[in-house]
């Protein structure tokens, strides 16, 4: 067993202390730092192509890559967010004025049901329609108020958002330009054998690319298609529902169907048969197959995890880290599997 001298112990303590202190300093903008690292990993191939195109001039290549990221990612997300906030506030105003009444929608569904289903509702003591209508209306009002508060919070924290965006873009430039040398230094400092470090670091970068490139693009495609069919069928606030469907598409075994399926059922039971049939067909054939077609192309087979593990790690990650958790959760789960695979497969780590 290695025996450390007093000087070595003091230095290791100092190293741990300054590392924790540095992390504490970065904590207020941890989200900006995190997404700077994620985008740098995701767009590293683009930077390498630009580096070759600029005859290996790193600064111009990083600047061009940064401008392309702003045009392709930052600006579209900003426009969508602004439109989403506007539409969410409009929906909140319509609920407050009674133009949108979820309780009335529920009553319309119940009155359209066949008698045997009404009898089933009575068996489960769900015939107090006035009480159910009131509860649904109150729940919808609470949800809309929460959405409106979040929208107002976004507006009130514009300065913090802009500072965080500047930090992310500033860091992203240097990570693109100097990322390879920084990664090499981190690998060299990591106290593991080279073959173990290579496997873990490769797994880390692959999972981040797969999670962002695969899950986010698939979710965006499903949300966009869902919003498009809602707009075609004249469902109110299609952009808002598109974002909700995209968000739910991040969760395996849940997906966008939790939004479009109840709307399709509402169309069918209220007599709008062709709208319900079109929505079901579009949801199953188009939205449902996007995951099966796009995900294998974008993600590949290297980072396949069981759906239940992806679901648990995504939900747990978002519960702990907020929106960032949909990347952090699966990355931690993948590293967990990789570390245990290394432990089981390597005699060096076994206890004899």
Q: Is 235 left (phi over 0), alpha (psi -120 to 50) or beta?
A: beta
Mean of the per-residue pLDDT values of the chain = 77
Sign (positive or negative) of CA dihedral 9, 335, 21, 188: positive
Core vs surface per residue 271-309: b (16+ CB within 10 A) or e: eeeebbebbbebbeeebeebbeeebeebbeeebebeeeb
Q: Is the pLDDT of residue 130 over 80?
A: no
Q: Are 254 and 307 in contact (CB under 8 A)?
A: no
Does residue 110 register a pLDDT over 90? no
For residue 272, what pLDDT is reported? Answer: 80
Is pLDDT at 285 greater than 70 in this prediction?
Answer: yes
Tell me the average pLDDT across 73-80. 83
Cα separation, 151 vs 86, in Å, equals 8
Question: Is 293 strand, coil or helix?
Answer: helix
DSSP assignment of 83-112: HHHHHHHHHHHHHHHTSS-HHHHHHHHHHH
Residue ranges per structural domain of the chain: 30-189, 192-352
61: confidence class by pLDDT, cuts 50, 70, 90: very high
Q: According to the model, what pLDDT value does residue 172 have?
A: 92
Q: Is the pLDDT of residue 156 over 60?
A: no
Round to whole Å and give the CA distance between 204 and 330. 10
Which position has the token pair 């907020």? 322
Return the minimum-mean-pLDDT range out of 175-179, 195-199, 247-251, 295-299: 295-299
Determine if the pTM surpasses 0.85: no
Q: Quick one: average pLDDT of 187-200?
A: 74
Residue 265, both tokens = 């059922």
State the pLDDT at residue 106. 63
Residue 131 pLDDT: 61
User: CA–CA separation, 139 vs 155, rounded Å?
Assistant: 25
Dist CA 63 CA 255 (whole Å): 37
Q: How far is CA 262 from CA 106, 161, 217, 228, 274, in A?
A: 11, 35, 24, 17, 15
Using a pLDDT cut of 70, give the percent of the chain over it.
72
Radius of gyration of the chain (CA): 25
């Amino acid at each position: 067993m290695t025996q450390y001298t007093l000087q070595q112990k003091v230095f290791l303590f100092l190293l741990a202390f300054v590392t924790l202190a540095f992390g504490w300093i970065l904590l207020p903008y941890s989200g900006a730092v995190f997404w700077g690292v994620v985008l740098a990993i995701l767009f590293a191939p683009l930077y390498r192509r630009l580096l070759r195109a600029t005859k290996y001039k790193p600064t111009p290549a990083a600047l061009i890559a940064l401008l392309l990221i702003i045009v392709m990612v930052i600006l579209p997300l900003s426009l969508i967010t602004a439109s989403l906030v506007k539409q969410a506030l409009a929906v909140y105003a319509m609920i407050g004025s009674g133009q949108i009444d979820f309780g009335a929608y529920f009553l319309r569904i119940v009155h359209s049901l066949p008698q045997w289903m009404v009898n089933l509702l009575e068996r489960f003591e769900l015939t107090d329609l006035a009480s159910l209508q009131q509860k649904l209306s109150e729940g919808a009002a609470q949800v809309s108020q929460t959405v409106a508060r979040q929208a107002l919070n976004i507006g009130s924290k514009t300065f913090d958002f802009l500072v965080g965006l500047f930090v992310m873009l500033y860091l992203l430039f240097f990570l693109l330009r100097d990322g390879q040398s920084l990664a090499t230094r981190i690998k060299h400092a990591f106290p593991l054998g080279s073959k173990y470090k290579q496997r873990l670091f490769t797994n880390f970068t692959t999972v981040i690319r797969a999670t962002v490139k695969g899950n986010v693009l698939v979710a965006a495609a499903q949300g966009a298609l869902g919003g498009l069919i809602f707009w075609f069928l004249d469902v109110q606030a299609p952009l808002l529902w598109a974002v909700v469907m995209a968000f739910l598409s991040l969760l395996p075994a849940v997906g966008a169907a939790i939004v479009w399926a109840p709307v399709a059922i509402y169309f069918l039971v209220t007599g709008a048969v062709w709208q319900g049939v079109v929505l079901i067909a579009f949801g199953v054939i188009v939205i449902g197959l996007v995951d099966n077609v796009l995900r294998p192309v974008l993600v590949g087979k290297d980072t396949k995890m069981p759906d239940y593990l992806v679901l648990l790690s995504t939900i747990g990650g978002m519960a702990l880290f907020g929106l960032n958790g949909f990347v952090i959760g699966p990355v931690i789960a993948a590293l967990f599997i990789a570390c245990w695979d290394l432990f089981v497969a390597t005699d060096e780590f076994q206890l004899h």
